Amino acid sequence: MLDSKIIIALDYSDKSQVKELCAKLDNKKCKLKIGKQIFTKYGPSIIEEVQSLGFGVFLDLKFHDIPETVYKACIEAFKLGVWMLNVHALGGAKMMESAVKARNEVNVDAKLIAVTLLTSLDRLEISQDFTDNRINVVKSLAAQAYSCKLDGIVCSPADIRNIDNDDTDFLYVTPGIRLETSSDDHHEVFTPKTAIDLGSSYFVIGRPITQAKDPMVVINKILSSI
Ligand code: C5P
């Protein structure tokens, strides 16, 4: 079976909700994203639990610190056997290279990706130079992530064509995916088909799946739409 493009964001506060969702999922059709909330509450045990059910884990902790600290944190994260991990590209080239070094030392097959500019930032919050030139900043951070040998970036499907990287192995992990028009809190949303056409490699999807009565119905709908 082909690698599924669906990564489900486990934005839950309690382990029981994770277990309840996992019991309804086919581990061959999706991977799971463990973020700051649930990891901070339960630590590595939550990763072990979902891995023992056969799910691949994207550990979304967005590391951003001095290179040595990120190197050591990445060593520990990759030792947990995660399929994917991320860091902030704004941590700089040396920090990203340290993360790659850690990945290569622990598990060369694991994926390491970078967050460029958080989509939640708006011009009032940080320097206007950043936000007025958002796409140029994203482009430059994506190019830096690529030259540091990361596997890809997190971005909006709309950014992919501007990034203009002709290496087809470079991954674009895209949030803001919706089958219907509801956007929740995203500025802009894309259907799975549009995201694929724009070059998305993996979708991060939370609420449309986690809040569905039958998550597999939604997953199968997404998979058949692409
Ligand atoms: O599909 P839904 O909107 O519920 O997905 C929310 C998830 O997407 C959260 O886990 C959030 O961290 C992630 N996300 C992201 N990058 C963004 C927006 C959301 O990784 N720019």
Among protein residues, the one with the nearest Cα to ligand 1's atom 13 is: 175
**Residue 11: CB within 6 Å of ligand 1?**
yes
Q: Is position 41 annotated as part of the catalytic site?
A: no
Buried b (16+ CB within 10 A) or exposed e, 69-91: ebbebbbebbebbbbbbbbbbbb
CA of 202 to the centre of ligand 1 (A): 13
Q: Give the active site residue among 15, 24, 29, 62.
A: 62
CA of 210 to the centre of ligand 1 (A): 12
* Burial of 181 (C-beta count, 10 Å sphere; 0-12/13-18/19+): exposed
Q: Report CA torsion sign: 195, 96, 118, 49.
A: positive
Q: 3-state class of 200 per DSSP?
A: coil
* Rounded average pLDDT per 10-residue block, the chain, 226 residues: 88 96 98 98 98 98 98 98 98 98 98 91 65 84 98 95 93 94 78 96 97 97 95
pTM of the model: 0.94
Among protein residues, the one with the nearest Cα to ligand 1's atom 17 is: 175
Q: What number of other Cβ atoms are within 10 A of residue 42's Cβ?
A: 16
**Residue 85: CB within 6 Å of ligand 1?**
no
Which one of 154, 204, 210 would you pick to mutate in the ligand 1 pocket, going by the greatest count of ligand atoms within 8 A of its CB? 204
- Locate 139 and state its tokens: 């482009």
Note whether 219 and 26 are within 8 A (CB): yes
Q: Which domains can be identified in the chain, with CATH numbers?
A: 6-225 (3.20.20.70)
